[in-house]
């Protein structure tokens, strides 16, 4: 892919806990019980990682904010 921005990194890193704080980890465990799952973690250089989750139907995304809130109206562009 010519437009691929990821440089050999997996969308979900093996060491997820390195990128999620305690509040985000707790919320992720909670929403996983409702079928949501970690879709990917954006890791822009010199910026805070962005944790993106997807609903069980695969038609809606959310962002796990740093304080553990689930933002269901994120201002984020995704690839189709």
Write down the pLDDT at residue 67: 97
pTM score, whole prediction: 0.81
Domain membership flag for residue 22: yes
Least Cα distance to 70 among 35, 33, 23 occurs for: 23
b/e for 17-51, b at 16 or more Cβ within 10 A? eebbeeebbebbeebeeeebebbbbbeeeeeebbb
Boundaries of domain holding 60: 16-71
Write down the pLDDT at residue 2: 43
- CA 51, CA 20: separation in Å to the nearest integer? 8
Domain membership flag for residue 23: yes
From first to last of the 80 residues of the chain, give the pLDDT tens digit: 344 455 667 778 788 888 999 999 999 999 999 999 999 998 889 999 999 999 999 999 999 999 999 999 988 776 65
- CA 59, CA 56: separation in Å to the nearest integer? 8
Domain membership flag for residue 50: yes
* Number of domains into which the chain is organized: 1
Domain membership flag for residue 7: no
């Amino acid at each position: 892919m010519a437009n691929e921005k990821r440089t050999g990194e997996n969308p979900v890193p093996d060491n997820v806990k390195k990128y999620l704080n305690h509040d985000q980890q707790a919320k992720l465990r909670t929403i996983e019980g409702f079928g949501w799952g970690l879709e990917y973690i954006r890791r822009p250089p010199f910026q805070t990682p962005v944790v993106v989750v997807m609903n069980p139907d695969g038609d809606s995304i959310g962002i796990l904010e740093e304080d553990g809130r689930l933002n269901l109206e994120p201002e984020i562009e995704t690839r189709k």
